[in-house]
DNA sequence: TTGATATAGTTACATTCGTAACTGTAATTT
DNA sequence: AAATTACAGTTACGAATGTAACTATATCAA
């Protein structure tokens, strides 16, 4: 009814759509190539990038819920893509470290990620791409 | 490991985070005020904005999966916020129309939406806000 | 020290989700 | 008109999710 409100111009709606489009485009890759979920991909990417971490550190890096991390770690472990090492000083903690297989999957997906990134960059244009990235980063402070 | 890939600069990741931040900020409002889910809010907003529609039309407008629409319509109907009218020419189809209660909930959430929009606009600045909206719209063509 | 509190990580449970299969109706082909 | 195909919408089912409760360990306070 009347009112100045328009769902299609509402930023949360707009943002969600763009985000889904973008996420799903890349999800097809890790899903088809390795049958991975998004949580699994993120955990793999974080471990690949930073080396051995604890589950809590992965939560901090990714913003994933700790139960998602717990489950993702479990299923990555089942594939033998990572190993746990109990921390000697604090026995609650496990260091999680990618195996050679895990690293090689990570490398393969990194390449795909870089290619995907290039595709999006070409689509938006270099300047706009940069502008968008910067704008999105500001939301961390919202 | 080496490689130029950085998850925190990866656009799908960046976008997802910004999107979640933004969506959840507004979700708190319709969730706390009416115990609604995101799908329900979107269906309500679409019917509120466009008047009576069929489920399929709602799918087209919102991009929601048809099962989500089906379920959201069912639960909005249960609250007596909408009524169904069977189409006379095509008995597969139902026109969905908000009741007075539904309209008043829509109006109330519209106001909240406009206020939220203003908040985000103030945060980003008018120019940046506009720029971001335009950039996001481009993803429809990706 | 012991008792209380905090933290790392997992698990149980109820809810939500997406895929695919289904029901009922309409449109098209033979 | 009968058979086939297409479409609107719902439902069944398995997978994924979030909340809250839990286990085990560590830290802090009395």
C-alpha angle B98/B99/B105, rounded to 5°?
Answer: 80
Whether A118 and chain B come into contact, CB under 8 Å, resolves to: no
Specify the residue for token string 């051995």: A52
Whether A135 and chain B come into contact, CB under 8 Å, resolves to: yes
Instruction: For domain B37-137, say whether CATH 3.20.20.20 is its number.
Output: no
CB contact under 8 A, A22 and B6: no
Residues 24-83 of A with CB under 8 A from B: 25-26, 42, 45-46, 48-49, 51, 61-63
In B, minimum Cα distance to A39 occurs at B13
CB contact under 8 A, B19 and A21: no
| Gap between the Cα atoms of B82 and B52, Å rounded | 9
User: Coil, strand or helix: which one is A5?
Assistant: coil
By the 8 A CB rule, do A109 and A76 touch?
Answer: no
User: Coil, strand or helix: which one is B91?
Assistant: coil
Give pLDDT, residue B103: 96
Q: At residue A81, what are phi and psi to the nearest 5 degrees? A: -100, -10
CB contact under 8 A, B131 and A136: no
Instruction: Spell out the domain ranges in chain B.
Output: 37-137
Distance from CA of B50 to the nearest CA of A (A): 7
CB contact under 8 A, B136 and A14: yes
Q: What is the pLDDT of residues B36-49, one digit of tens each?
A: 999 999 999 999 99
What is the average per-residue pLDDT within B63-78?
96
Distance from CA of A22 to the nearest CA of B (A): 6
Q: What is the β-pairing status of strands A82-86 and A94-98?
A: antiparallel
Specify the residue for token string 């960046």: B14
Q: What is the pLDDT of residues B82-128, one digit of tens each?
A: 999 999 999 999 999 999 999 999 999 999 999 999 999 999 999 99
Residue ranges of chain A whose pLDDT lies below 70 = 1-3
Q: What is the pLDDT of residues A24-46, one digit of tens each?
A: 999 999 998 999 999 999 999 99
By the 8 A CB rule, do B135 and A132 touch?
Answer: yes
Distance B138 CA to C22 C1' (A): 38
Instruction: For chain A, give the longest Cα–Cα distance.
Output: 65
CATH class of A10-141: mainly alpha
Q: Is the pLDDT of residue B1 over 70?
A: no
Residue nearest to nucleotide C16 (CA to C1'): B68
Q: Is the pLDDT of residue B3 over 70?
A: no
* Cα–Cα nearest to B11, from A19, A127, A11, A60: A19
User: Coil, strand or helix: which one is B9?
Assistant: helix
Residues 7-26 of A with CB under 8 A from B: 7-23, 25-26
Q: Which residue has the higher pLDDT, B141 or B94?
A: B94
Q: How many CB pairs under 8 A join A and B?
A: 150
Give percent of chain A with pLDDT exceeding 70: 98
């Amino acid at each position: 009814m009347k009112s100045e409100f328009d769902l299609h111009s509402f930023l949360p709606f707009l943002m969600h759509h763009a985000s889904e489009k973008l996420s799903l485009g890349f999800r097809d890759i890790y899903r088809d190539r390795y049958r991975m979920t998004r949580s699994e991909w993120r955990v793999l990417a974080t471990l690949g990038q930073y080396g051995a971490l604890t589950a809590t550190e992965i939560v901090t890096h990714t913003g994933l819920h700790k139960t998602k991390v717990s489950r993702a770690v479990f299923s990555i472990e089942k594939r033998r893509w990572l190993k746990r090492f109990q921390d000697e000083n604090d026995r609650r903690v496990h260091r999680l470290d990618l195996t050679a297989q895990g690293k090689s999957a990570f490398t393969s997906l990194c390449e795909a990620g870089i290619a995907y990134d290039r595709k999006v960059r070409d689509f938006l244009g270099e300047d706009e791409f940069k502008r968008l990235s910067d704008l999105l980063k500001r939301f961390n402070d919202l």
